[in-house]
Structure 1
Amino acid sequence: MSEGVEWALHSCLNLSWVGDEAVTARKLAAFYQLPTAYMNKQLQALTRAGILSSTSGPRGGFRLARTIDDITLLDIVVAIEGREDIFRCDQVLRHGPGGSDEVDYRHTCVLSGAMRKADLAWRSSLAQQTIADIRTDVEKAYPHTRDATLNHFLNAG
């Protein structure tokens, strides 16, 4: 998984505290000392996926396009990484002893099946967790984070 997923997850969480205020890619990137151009690429992917909305102009930037209850961790991962399975079976069994070009090993290989099952479990877990859930957990564990983040984005130059 690319580092862009981590950046996107944190950006969505941070935007949840800011509310309706638009935050620029520059400010979101500066919060973690990340490159603005690459952060903007992640934010654009989130916008294309309908997770964020963007506004241009002097008061422009990014904001959440959906409620935090309607944005799952899987939504964010898929927006950044795409829908491809994490494991891709290249059917190496086809070239091993007893292999056959007639068999689709993506469906018959036990290892491929185990990896698909794990991928499904992982995706299911991410689909069950929303930004609202993560925000609640962060606010319980680190009560100062919400106010510090809000203060940073609303008062940063």
Structure 2
Amino acid sequence: MKLNQGVEWALHTCLNLGWIEEAGDVGAAPTARLADFYDLPPAYLNKQLQALVREGILSSTPGPRGGFRLARRLEDITVLDVVVAIEGRAGAFDCAQILRSGPGGDAGTNYRESCLISQTMTKADLAWRKELASETLADIRERVVSLYPDTPSSTRSWFLNTKH
């Protein structure tokens, strides 16, 4: 399974918004500034951020002084929330029920339920989702602070002192 690169961009951007907002009322962060931090294409990043808005992870403010803010605390945003916002809710495996067409296949059988391959793939997808749901962005933030203690202040400084 390969995730869209927008998932990585969205996760990092949410963490950056968390660092920025810890500085107090700094207003909404414009897409161009958020994209510039990692040298990302602003239009494509904006598409990812709008997906986060639709899922209630971010809020957006239109206009010349507009941009994005976290709509929820990092403690209330799981990695799965972000993945689902960017990738959608569909599972990683979609059983096409090819057993229906094979020798001895039965058009009336739901092979999504009875096929052992489908069951295995569904079980793996659920385990992956459970793991992503168990990890919040606050958990990641804590590990970043532990391993790279200067990251919050240097990120805030970049956003507060760098003009776009």
What TM-score do the two structures reach when normalised by structure 2?
0.91
Greater shift after overlay, 52-61 or 65-74?
52-61
Report the 3-state secondary structure (helix = DSSP H, G, I; strand = E; otherwise coil) of the residue aligned with 1:86: coil
How far apart are residue 131 of structure 1 and its match? 0.8
| Residue identity opposite 2:20 in structure 1 | V
User: Aligned to 1:121, which of 123, 127, 132?
Assistant: 127
Structure 1, unaligned runs of 5 or more: none
The percent of aligned pairs where both chains have the same amino acid is 60
- In 2, Cα distance between equivalents of 1:119 and 1:107: 15
1:80 aligns with 2:82: no
Which of residues 50, 68, 92 is equivalent to 1:62? Answer: 68
Pick which of 66-75 and 55-64 moved more.
55-64
RMSD: 1.2
C-alpha displacement at 1:142, in angstroms?
1.2
User: Deviations along 1:10-32, whole A, 9 cap, x unmatched?
Assistant: 11111110115311111111111
1:3-152 equivalence runs, <5 A: 3-19=5-21, 20-21=25-26, 22-152=28-158
Structure 2, unmatched stretches of 5+, are none
Whole-angstrom CA distance in 1 between matches of 2:149 and 2:50: 30
Distance across 2 between alignment mates of 1:101 and 1:70: 44
Q: What TM-score do the two structures reach when normalised by structure 1?
A: 0.94
Q: Secondary structure at the match of 2:91?
A: coil
